[in-house]
Amino acid sequence: MRNQHGKTLEQARAIFTIAVSCLQHLNNLKDGTAQTTGLSEAIEKYKVDLGKYHKILLTELNSESTSQLFSDAVLQDHKNKMIRAKQDGHIENIIEVLLSLRVNALQISPEQRQNLVNELIKNDIFLIRQEQRTQFLIELLQIESVGLKHAICSLISVVACTATGVEYLTLHGNQIVK
pLDDT digits (tens, 9 = 90+) for 62-108: 555 544 456 788 889 999 999 999 999 999 999 999 988 888 777 77
96 shares its domain with 52: no
Contacts of 29 (CB under 8 A, 6+ apart): 36, 39
**Same-domain check for residues 54 and 113:** no
Query: Are both 129 and 45 inside the same structural domain?
Result: no
Cα separation, 94 vs 177, in Å, equals 21
**Could you tell me the residue range of the domain that residue 17 belongs to?**
2-69
Last residue of a domain, one of 33, 49, 69: 69
Give the other-Cβ count within 10 Å of 116's Cβ: 23
- Does residue 63 share a domain with residue 80? no
Given 3-state DSSP classes, what are the helix, strand and coil percentages for the chain, each rounded to the nearest 5? 80, 0, 20
For residues 106 and 129, membership in a common domain is answered with yes
8 and 40, same structural domain?
Answer: yes
Residues 47 and 81 occupy one common structural domain: no
> Does some domain include residue 174?
no
In the chain, which stretches have pLDDT less than 70?
Answer: 1-5, 57-70
Within a domain: 176: no
**Residues 24 and 80 reside in one and the same domain:** no
The upper half-sphere exposure of residue 47, i.e. CA atoms within 13 Å in the direction of its Cβ, equals 6
pLDDT at 169: 94
Q: What is the DSSP letter of 36?
A: S
Residue 38 lies in a domain: yes
175 located within any domain: no
Residue 125 is given by DSSP the state T
* Cβ-contact 105, 158 below 8 angstroms: yes
